[in-house]
Amino acid sequence: MTTLSVNVNKIAVLRNSRGDSDPDPVEAARAALAAGCQGITVHPRPDQRHIRVDDVARIATVLGGAEYNIEGNPFAPPRGTYPGLIELARLVQPAQVTLVPDGDTQITSDHGFDLARDAARLAPLVRSFKECGCRVSLFMDADAPDIERVADLGADRIEIYTGPYAHAFARGDAAHALDACARTAERAAACALGVNAGHDLNQNNLGALKRAIPFLAEVSIGHALIGEAIYAGLAATIGNYLEILATN
């Protein structure tokens, strides 16, 4: 079964735009879980422009048996009230941390790790997250040359960056990008790595990805799902995603 983890960052963006407490990402997480999703994802950044440090801890209290996936840049140092990703993991002990090489100047994550450059720095950090009891996933580009090195670092999964696939799908020319995602998943599986996927996935393009990677472990979806929920409602939208994952 492919699990659906709902990213509630966009709820925090809307809240922060008014500088108040509503809408609350904690309540959004409650509603998403009540609708049947299997996990909640947050991506706190050092500038706390959406999910804040206190949100990370508050969401952890409402998960019940659902999985918590915390994404972030493991190289970003503490800043102000942001304690760093490893300290957040120690605080709430999420089921999974997804390590992402993003910076303050990026609007959103837009590339995976280059392990030829980053492996030496990542190895001790992966060990630290594992010592916290977290499953570790690395955000990787489709057809990255160093997928096999992820296992050598001690990580458990990759998350395939699906932005290029989603953009190609929207253009009506997704075959090459979809093949790249499938090849990447197969290479990861051959190294006993689990395979997650995320970024720009929506109800239109998710089914084809699932068919191409039938052993897909997890998708984390936020931007499109929250946007679609504005029109159809959160529970109905999550139900649609769960049906796509179950029937493809």
Active-site positions read 43, 71, 199
d(CA 242, CA 144): 29
d(CA 133, CA 89): 9
Q: Select from 123, 120, 56 the least CA-distant residue to 84.
A: 56
Tokens of 53: 């440090």
3-state secondary structure of 33: helix
Alpha helices in the chain (DSSP H): 9-18, 25-34, 53-60, 85-92, 115-131, 147-152, 163-171, 175-190, 206-212, 223-232, 234-247
